[in-house]
Each structure stands twice: as structure tokens, then as C-alpha cells.
């Protein structure tokens, strides 16, 4: 029997709990501070902010379940008929202290309207300050394993979607090395609905596994002032994407979402430098050269 929207919200709460527990253990020092909130038009959530970490400088793991009249702007943008909506999900962004550890983002969500329209969406993507082909290969291999458990077409389809979505058009560069992104995944049967839900939850469980790997592997690598300066420039690009192009940010603001929770994805510090050009042959130049769509990190020659 198909799970109700309330049951899905409860399951996503459990995913939030699981991820927060695993991240706390992996960091070994910091802890989450929870901010429970209510939305005046209906629903609310739990925003958990990670503070005082050994590895994670700033992080957020947010759960929300909101409902009410669908704003006209959303109806027009998505081509939907007027009806009340329900949306629930978990959204995560982590900014590490070390520039050798990548930024990571994950989102899993479910959207339903009272007229029966429904879909799942989400994804996971990695934004290294310094691109390491071995790390990129590992990340994409792990994501592909999850996708292949459900549909062999998921990885190539959703990987392409991520490359196109996480793209700064005004910079002509990708936000990072991509991952997967999908939206409006609807079901025609209860069996298909359960498969979509299970896929969503598998992405949620993958998150602490892959990021725990990067935390352990990369946090002790040496770095200096040059690497920290580059990190802040790359964080600036992250800010640009989230404020200019990110559909989730726009959806949250258009539905009168909670601004503090929506903007938890912002880094603790970011910088912009006019016409910055890295030195030819440098690790920074290598990174810029590989911020391109459609790179196959599974077959990249190391």
C-alpha cells in the first residue's frame, strides 16, 4: 500500500536523525544545534546547524514538511492547476574548514497536491575546492552503484541533468564535479511509488558514507594561506549559484519559506577578486580546467 505524505515526512525525519548522528561521529568534535520552526501558512521543520567542528566549519541538515495554498507564482512556473500542496524533504550543505575537503550538497524531497499530482526529486553533488580525479572517480562510482540498484538508466540520465543544472552560466563553469539531479519523478503504480521512495532514501543513506570517506581521507592534508584564499574564491562561486540559479532557493522564497533555513547553504566566509587568474600549471588552474559539463569521471585517466 502506498505510503501517505505524513508517513513519508516521518521517514525523512528519521533520515535527518541518521545523517546528523553519523556526521557528529565522523567529525569527532562539533555538534548540531536544532532550531524547530513553524510556517504561518502551514507546517514547519527542524533546521540543524553544525557548529564548532574539527572538520566541518559550517553545516546544515534541514528537514521540513510544509503545506497550504500553492502560490500563483509556483502554479505558473510548474504548469499546475490550482490546488493545495504538501512538500517534505531533507536538504544538506556542508562547508569544511580545510580546502582539501570538498563542499557537499544533498537533497531528497517529495511534493504532492490535493488533486493527486505528485513527484519525488533530489540529488547529490560534490564541489571540491581542488579537483582530485581519484576522489571524483570514487564519488561517481558510489553514486552509480545506488542508481544501478533501481534503474540502469538513472545514472547517465541524472548525471547529465546534474551537469546541466549545477552550471554557472554567467561563468561558463560547473559548480563542481556534479553527481546526480532529478525532479518530477512520479509513479503510475504503488510498486513504482515505493521504488521511487526507496531510491530517495538510498541517496540519503549514501550521503554520510561518501562524505565520511572524504572527511577521514582529506582533512589532515596540508594546506596554507594560498589554499585558504582559493577556498574563499570557490565559496564565492557557490554563493553565486545558490542565489542566482538554484531552483530550491527560489521555491523556498516563493512559498514564503523560512529565510534562515533556506540560506543555511551559504558558507561562513567567501571572497571575490576582480579578474583572478590562477598560475598556469597550478592545482587551481587544473581545477578551473575541469569545471566542465559531461566529463566522464568513471573513465577519467588518472
Positions marked catalytic: 105
Alpha carbons 71 and 176: distance in angstroms, whole number: 32
Q: For residues 104 and 26, is the Cβ–Cβ distance under 8 A?
A: no
Cell of 14: 528519521
Alpha carbons 168 and 237: distance in angstroms, whole number: 8
> Nearest Cα to 260, choosing from 20, 35, 52, 40?
35
Alpha carbons 43 and 39: distance in angstroms, whole number: 5
Q: For residues 270 and 235, is the Cβ–Cβ distance under 8 A?
A: yes
Strands (DSSP E) along the chain, which ranges? 31-38, 43-51, 56-69, 84-96, 103-113, 118-127, 167-168, 173-174, 178-185
Residues 132-136: contacts with CB under 8 Å, at least 24 apart = 133/297, 133/300, 133/302, 134/302, 135/102, 135/214, 135/217, 135/218, 136/177, 136/297, 136/300
Which residues pair with residue 48 across a beta bridge? Answer: 34, 61
DSSP assignment of 217-240: HHTTS---HHHHHHHHHHHHHHHH
Q: For residues 105 and 124, is the Cβ–Cβ distance under 8 A?
A: yes
Count of alpha carbons within 13 angstroms of residue 127, beta-carbon side: 28
Amino acid at each position: 500500500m502506498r505510503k501517505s505524505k505524513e508517513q513519508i515526512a516521518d521517514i525523512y525525519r528519521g533520515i535527518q536523525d541518521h545523517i546528523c548522528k553519523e556526521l557528529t561521529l565522523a567529525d569527532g568534535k562539533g555538534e548540531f544545534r536544532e532550531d524547530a520552526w513553524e510556517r504561518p501558512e502551514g507546517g514547519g521543520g527542524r533546521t540543524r546547524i553544525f557548529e564548532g567542528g574539527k572538520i566541518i566549519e559550517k553545516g546544515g541538515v534541514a528537514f521540513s514538511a510544509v503545506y497550504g495554498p500553492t502560490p500563483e507564482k509556483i502554479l505558473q512556473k510548474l504548469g499546475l492547476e490550482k490546488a493545495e500542496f504538501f512538500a517534505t524533504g531533507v536538504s544538506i550543505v556542508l562547508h569544511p574548514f580545510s580546502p582539501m575537503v570538498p563542499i557537499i550538497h544533498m537533497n531528497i524531497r517529495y511534493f504532492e497536491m490535493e488533486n493527486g499530482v505528485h513527484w519525488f526529486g533530489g540529488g547529490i553533488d560534490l564541489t571540491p575546492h581542488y579537483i582530485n580525479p581519484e576522489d571524483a572517480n570514487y564519488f561517481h562510482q558510489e553514486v552509480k552503484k545506488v542508481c544501478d540498484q533501481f534503474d540502469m538508466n538513472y545514472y547517465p540520465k541524472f548525471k547529465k541533468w546534474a551537469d546541466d543544472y549545477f552550471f554557472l552560466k554567467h561563468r561558463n563553469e560547473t559548480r563542481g564535479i556534479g553527481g546526480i539531479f532529478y525532479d518530477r519523478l512520479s509513479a503510475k503504480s504503488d510498486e513504482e511509488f515505493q521504488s521511487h521512495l526507496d531510491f530517495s532514501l538510498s541517496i540519503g543513506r549514501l550521503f554520510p558514507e561518501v562524505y565520511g570517506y572524504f572527511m577521514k581521507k582529506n582533512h589532515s592534508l596540508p594546506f596554507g594561506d594560498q589554499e585558504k584564499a582559493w577556498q574563499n574564491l570557490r565559496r564565492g562561486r557557490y554563493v553565486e549559484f545558490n542565489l542566482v540559479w538554484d531552483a530550491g532557493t527560489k521555491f523556498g522564497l516563493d512559498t514564503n519559506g523560512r529565510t534562515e533555513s533556506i540560506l543555511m547553504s551559504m558558507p561562513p566566509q567567501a571572497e571575490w577578486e576582480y579578474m583572478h587568474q590562477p598560475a598556469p600549471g597550478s592545482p587551481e588552474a587544473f581545477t578551473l580546467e575541469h569545471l566542465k559539463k559531461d566529463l566522464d569521471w568513471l573513465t577519467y585517466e588518472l
